[in-house]
Amino acid sequence: MSAVSDQEWTGRDVTIAQIEHELAQLRSDSMDMRTSVMTHIAWAPPEWQGAARDTLAGMAERHPSRTLLLFPQDDERDALDAEVSLQCYTHAELQRHVCTEVIELRLCGRVAQAPASVILPLVLPDVPVFLRWRGEPPFGEPVFEQLIDVVDRLVVDSREWEGAPACYAKLVEVFDRVAVSDIVWARTLRWRRAIAERGGGRQLRVRGPIQESSLLVGWLRSRLGHPVELEHTDADRIELAVLDGEEIRAREERPSASDLLSGELDRFSRDPIYESAVAAAL
Amino acid sequence: MFVIFGASGDLTRRKLLPALYALAYRKMLPERYAVLGSARSPMSSEEFRNAMEEAVRAHARVEFKQEVWDELAASTYYVPTEFGDDHMHDLVTEKLTELDREHGTEGNRLFYLAVPPSAIPMLIREIGERRADDGWSRVIVEKPFGLDLASAQRLNQEILRYFRENEVFRIDHYLGKETVQNMLALRFANGIFEPLWTRQYVDHVQITVAESIGIEGRAAFYEKLGASRDVFQNHLLQLVAITAMEPPIDFDADAVRNEKAKVLRATEVDAVVRGQYGAGYVEGKMVPGYREEEGVDPESTIETYVAAKLRIDTWRWADTPFYVRTGKRLPRRETTITIQFKRVPQSLFTHADGLRPNVLAIHVQPDEGVSLGIGAKVPGQGMTVRTVNMDFLYGGAFRTGLPEAYERLILDAMRGDPTLFTRADEIEEQWRIVDSFRTPWADQVPDFPNYDAGTWGTDEADELLHRDGRSWRRH
């Protein structure tokens, strides 16, 4: 598929009714097919906004959805600013255009403290709601707590967090409230496959990010049911994994950030193996 | 002659005149007509026209065209009245006679009673005693029609002293919405749905009439009604009736209303919960609780939310619950009828955690249209199945603006077609249903507030479905 057109509307200090009206207007101006299989929300503090947009580029083609980009920002105004667009693609096989909706919301001032009340009117009925939280979530704070109560799945990338594996303790506490995906977990997949082929193990040595290393050893501990010692040295990606002195060779894969997020958007229910791995990583 | 009593009110300004203007714009008004507004407020016809021009500019669905307005304004008049003042009503009657002569309307009169419920019986008498001998007289009565079964019966008796049933148009503007009428088309113009529209295939039905606004300064009105009388008794139960009715033998007014009345007669309330909103966030902003709204009793026990499990004792719907809810200060304005079908008897697919039962949703507002959730294979390796929605959007299919409900209903009343209006027996059945749970409420003190503004209502409402192993659909 290839992008063919974007139609958009921008408003300052808007209401949800205005956003709905403009969306309806954009849709009625377009003869294209609207498709949504989910509502995809991204919470992106200012330092993450560029990355959030980059990751979402091309995502609509794989996961046609209504996308809500939530950008909290300090502002003297307590207001909601919005940019609403229809992003349309040519679907070669269908020989027609397919459109998805992107709503970029700037939550200004105190509006940023009540994001659930902004997104609830905008989530699509009957389809799952995914929340991609950029950066480390403020566990226990109202902003985070209210959002996880209104979504089906929380998607994080714990590489964006400080202090692994201790930081996972608070993540474990939300497992009973919302299904969780960690993109770090997806990054370990090829290593888990390779380790599973070898089997067993009491001691794991990893040269790679602490987050991947922690989840790998947590996974081993939880699957094997006995302690596994982790020896870790830092690197930007997993470069080496050695189990009980034997080097593990994993197939080379370098998925993009979009690929990794896309994979998580195909999951709907809780992943008990991941949850056990996180708990055992602590 | 279109006569509006309560012409200085909000309904006239926001709905009635804009609807008349839209009809004029579409050249749907009769060749000879006049509009007479009447209310307590003293003003001249000129002042009334000026106020209505402003209202039309602000609220009309179609663009403002000066020549269209000028034509409508040239036939628009105003006479002040004091309800219950015989002399003043005589003046209204004289004016009507004069306008009949001027505009050639031949004594045909459509009275719209946009007045508080307490004024209706008196107004009916005043109008009824002065009915013209020539032409026809019809009366449109706004909701709420009574405050309980007994008062509705009294009001029906009073109206029927002066008007025949086919001259009475009890308006429920929901029935004028295109998507509500489309429900009839969906069910009875398509062979594929009706065979499935039964207890054998439908697990349950959900109907939500949600408003995100509060009481918008109408404390005096709302404190007398609450959600059960303001919305449940009329809009919500009419949606139940249209969803559950048997096919009428034709689209004649009485054939349709007979079938709706049968459903209402067979409807009982299995369980009901009520709520009142406290302070909370709506669209990111803190809004006050109901008891903090201006003009509301700080100890008010008026409900702003009602959810119920209804039972319809017919062959078609036995053991198929209808879960209904309505409320104010919910997260979004939405009216949806959802038919949830039964699950397949056996799941063949191991990777199907994204698969839900089929759901047919009729979106009455906003996003008018129909969507059907169906299971589909995710493209690629393996056999992963998930639910996708097939959407039929009204605007996208017909690419034309939907007429306002009031346009359709006023036009139907002018033509004498009561199909989309509520008959006396329907109204009384609706009150019977509402009284069945309101009467016990009189002896109970609710623990209000019990839901936050900006949420989907009370925990008890969730429990209403959870104990049946179901949940409210996500909106």
Q: Is A118 on the interface with B (CB under 8 A)?
A: yes
How close B37 gets to chain A, by Cα (Å)? Answer: 32
Q: What is the CA radius of gyration of chain A?
A: 21
> What digits encode the pLDDT tens for the residues B246-272?
999 998 899 999 999 999 999 999 999
Which amino acid, B352?
Answer: A
User: Shortest CA distance to B275 belongs to which of B81, B96, B457?
Assistant: B457
Inter-chain contact B396–A28, Cβ cutoff 8 Å?
A: yes
- DSSP string computed for chain A: -EEEEEEEEEESS--HHHHHHHHHHHHHH--SEE--SEEEEEE--GGGHHHHHHHHTTHHHHS-EEEEEEEEE--SS-EEEEEEEEEEEEETTTTEEEEEEEEEEEEEGGGGG-HHHHHTTTSPTTS-EEEEE-S---TTSHHHHHHHTS-SEEEE-GGGSSSTTTTHHHHHTTTTTSEEEEHHHHHTHHHHHHHHHH---SEEEEES-HHHHHHHHHHHHHHHTS--EEEEE--SS--EEEETTEEE--------HHHHHHHHTT--S--HHHHHHHHHH-
The count of C-alpha atoms lying within 13 angstroms of the C-alpha of A221, restricted to the half-sphere facing its C-beta, is: 19
Under a CB-based contact definition with an 8 Å cutoff, are residues B290 and B296 in contact?
yes
Assess contact for B325 and B472: CB atoms under 8 A. yes
Nearest to A20 among B366, B389, B454 (CB): B366
Angle (CA) B300-B301-B307 rounded to 5° is: 135
CB of A36 within 8 Å of a chain B CB? The answer is yes
Find the chain B residues whose C-beta atoms sit closer than 8 A to any C-beta of A: 212, 280-286, 331-333, 336, 353-354, 356, 359, 361, 366-367, 371, 373, 378, 384, 386-389, 391, 393, 395-396, 399, 454, 473-475
Structure tokens at A240: 């080496």
Q: What is the pLDDT of residues B124-168, one digit of tens each?
A: 998 998 887 788 999 999 988 999 999 999 999 999 999 999 999
Between chain A and chain B, the number of residue pairs with CB atoms below 8 A apart is 91
Say if the Cβ atoms of B395 and A269 lie within 8 Å. Answer: no
Question: Which contacts qualify for B125-131: CB closer than 8 Å, 24 or more apart?
Answer: B125/B158, B125/B162, B126/B83, B126/B84, B126/B86, B126/B89, B127/B89, B127/B162, B128/B161, B128/B162, B128/B163, B129/B162, B130/B89, B130/B90, B130/B93, B131/B162
What positions of B carry a catalytic annotation?
235
Residue with tokens 């921008």: A10
Residue A173's Cα: distance from chain center in Å? 18
A125 touches chain B (CB under 8 A): yes
B chain contacts of residue A28, beta-carbon cutoff 8 Å: 395-396, 399
CA nearest A118 in B: which residue?
A: B283
User: How confident is the prediction along chain B (475 residues), in pLDDT tens digits per residue?
Assistant: 999 999 999 899 999 999 999 999 999 999 999 999 999 999 999 999 999 999 999 999 889 999 999 999 999 999 998 877 777 777 888 888 999 899 988 889 999 999 988 889 989 998 998 887 788 999 999 988 999 999 999 999 999 999 999 999 999 888 888 888 888 889 999 999 999 999 999 999 999 999 999 998 889 889 999 999 999 999 999 999 999 999 999 988 999 999 999 999 999 999 999 999 999 999 888 999 999 999 999 999 999 999 999 999 999 999 999 999 999 999 988 999 999 999 888 878 877 677 788 999 999 887 778 888 888 887 776 787 878 878 777 766 665 667 788 999 999 999 999 999 999 999 999 999 999 999 999 889 999 999 999 999 999 999 999 999 999 987 6
Contact between chains at A120 and B331 (C-beta distance less than 8 A): yes
CA-CA distance, A241 to A226, in Å (whole number)?
Answer: 19
pLDDT by residue (tens digit) across A225-260? 999 999 999 999 899 999 999 999 888 777 777 777
CB contact under 8 A, B475 and A125: yes
